[in-house]
Amino acid sequence: MPLTNVQARDLATILHPYTPLHTLPQTGPLVLDHGKGVFVYDTQGNEYIEGMSGLWCAGLGFGDEELIEAATEQMHKLPYYHLFGGKGMEPAIELGEKLKEIAPMPVSKVFFTSSGSEANDTQVKLAWYYNNALGRPEKKKIISRMKAYHGVTVMSGSLTGLPIVHGDFDLPVAGVLHTDCPHHYRFAEPGESEADFVARLAANLTALIEEEGPETIAAFIAEPIMGAGGVILPPEGYFQAIRPILAEHDILFIDDEVICGFGRTGNWWGAETYGFEPDTLSAAKQMTSAYAPLGAVLVPERMVEAFEAESAKLGAFGHGFTYGGHPLGCAVGAKAIEIYQKRDIIGHVRKLAPQFEARLAKLADHPLVGEARGKGLIGGVELVADKATKRPFDAKAGVAGRMVKFAEARGAILRPIGDTVALCPPMVITEAELDLLFDKMEAALNDAEDWVRKEGLREK
């Protein structure tokens, strides 16, 4: 089909992130115009159920009047100010108080950023600053995990453990280490139980720390559920096995809750769902239901004391962002948390989780699906060429990407991540809408299966 005028204008103007730039001129961009509830509409008036909450973030869906009103009121009152030089604003104070109240660990202070990438970038700087303040200038390395996703700045992109984020960007930078990905389906040895798999990963982490020298390692960073790495759930007992190892070697545990936070897994935080207590925490995305850009870093008292001492030594705490703690984002964030509480969004997620997980599990029977996995209202299906051997398709075939295109044609927006198709609907989705989403996903899987057979892709 020929491109519309707005598609042509887009192609002439926009450099699209995480997009096959070489094929976009042939397919054309999907240009969205408006949204309401769990649906979005393109410029041609076509309706799509938003199966990814945008990018894991629009937890309250689109067009929520309370969030719009909170944003409008703040724009009239104080559209912008900053937190530099000891300045303050009521929205930032209120949101900081709410974050401390619901945090999964003791929190002394909240540092605001503009995004999750900036939050994780800040986490590394704070870990370095903290160890310098304690007279440990050599304790600087950061351990992440293969297939982790922590952002795309130079440092957060280095923490990310995905080849596409590193390739030809000259990442990762020095001082970033990557340990095992905790995906039992894909990385367990033949016949290895989940318990044995966890024990092996814990032993490998210990060996890495001892080889590098614990005196050189500042922090370990992990998502409770690895989102953009393919919706990878940790095996049972994983965090309980690695947490003592970090504590023994005085290594900070950074909890990246950018995707899992604010109810997505059926608790406020993924840390609560998987039963561990971090040292610091990164938040963003659903903190404002994506209605305004905002990120945050939650830090304990012992780190704040070190920051204050270093500030006295240097004259000031030299880190911050122009839009970190923006009053618009903070006002929306405070209202979003209020909504999560008064509408019992976490209770709603828990109510829908059995339906979500049952429909997801049913997809495991499909000829294309090797594993279907999920928790709360986040899930993924991993597509394979051979279910028995778990053999993936040739990456160049782009099977997951094609399946997502089939879903789009049927009126559902999903996301391909390598061989996995992810789904993460707005948390306000109803039972009927959830069934609609899965019905469209099943139909798209059937379309993809027909295409795979026609193209002979299992044999290639």
Shared domain for 325 and 389, answered yes or no, is: no
> Where residue 195 falls among pLDDT bands split at 50, 70, 90?
very high
Q: How far apart are CA 396 and CA 347, in angstroms?
A: 42
Q: What is the mean pLDDT of residues 410-432?
A: 97
Decide if 12 is inside a domain: no
**What share of the chain has pLDDT > 70, as a percent?**
100
Q: Look up the domain containing 389 and give its range.
A: 31-63+344-455
Q: 395-427 b/e with 16+ CB inside 10 Å = b? A: eebbbbbbbbbbbbebbbbbbbbbbbbbbbbbb
**Residue 87 domain flag:** yes
CATH number of the domain to which 157 belongs: 3.40.640.10
- Whether 248 is in a domain gets the answer yes
* 275 and 200 housed in the same domain: yes
Domain end point (choices 290, 312, 342):
342
Same domain, 47 and 128: no
Q: Is residue 14 part of a domain?
A: no
- Residues 142-149 have a mean pLDDT of 98
How much is the average pLDDT of 197-214? Answer: 98
pLDDT of residue 1: 73
pLDDT on residue 359: 98
Asked if residue 404 and residue 327 are part of one domain, the reply reads: no
**Phi-psi group of 290: left, alpha or beta (phi > 0 → left; psi -120 to 50 → alpha; rest → beta):** left
Bond before 172 cis per omega within 30 degrees: yes
Question: Coil, strand, or helix at residue 345?
Answer: helix
Q: pTM for the whole thing?
A: 0.96
Whether residue 460 has pLDDT greater than 90: no
| 155 and 100 assigned to the same domain | yes
Residue 84 domain flag: yes
Q: Indicate the pLDDT class of residue 100, thresholds 50, 70 and 90.
A: very high
Structural domain ending residue among the three candidates 318, 342, 366: 342
Identify whether 24 is part of a domain.
no
The answer on pLDDT for 209 being more than 80 is yes
Asked, for residue 18, whether it belongs to a domain, the answer is no
Could you tell me the pLDDT band of residue 172, with boundaries at 50, 70 and 90? very high
User: pLDDT tens digits, residue range 37-73?
Assistant: 999 999 999 999 999 999 999 999 999 999 999 999 9
Q: Among 2-16, 123-137, 190-204, which is the least confidently predicted range? A: 2-16
Are residues 234 and 217 both part of a single domain? yes
- For residues 300 and 409, membership in a common domain is answered with no
Q: Are residues 227 and 359 in the same domain?
A: no
Are 193 and 314 in the same domain? Answer: yes
- Judge if 167 and 240 occupy the same domain: yes
pLDDT in tens, 214-259: 999 999 999 999 999 999 999 999 999 999 999 999 999 999 999 9
Q: What is the pLDDT of residues 390-418, one digit of tens each?
A: 999 999 899 999 999 999 999 999 999 99
Q: Please check whether residues 317 and 391 belong to one and the same domain.
A: no
* 3-state class (DSSP) for residue 282: strand
Residue 51 belongs to domain with CATH number? 3.90.1150.10
Distance of CA 164 to the CA centre of its chain: 16
pLDDT tens across 338-348, in order? 999 999 999 99
Residue 13, in any domain of the structure: no
- Mean local confidence (pLDDT), 258-277: 98
Do 324 and 361 share a structural domain?
Answer: no
pLDDT at 175: 97
Do the bridges between strand 378-383 and strand 420-423 make them parallel or antiparallel, or are there none, so unpaired? Answer: antiparallel
371 φ/ψ angles, rounded to the nearest 5 degrees: -145, 135
Question: Which of 308, 342, 376 is at the close of a domain?
Answer: 342
Report pLDDT for 104: 98
Ramachandran category for residue 45: left, alpha or beta (phi over 0 → left; psi -120 to 50 → alpha):
left
Domains in the chain: how many in total? 2
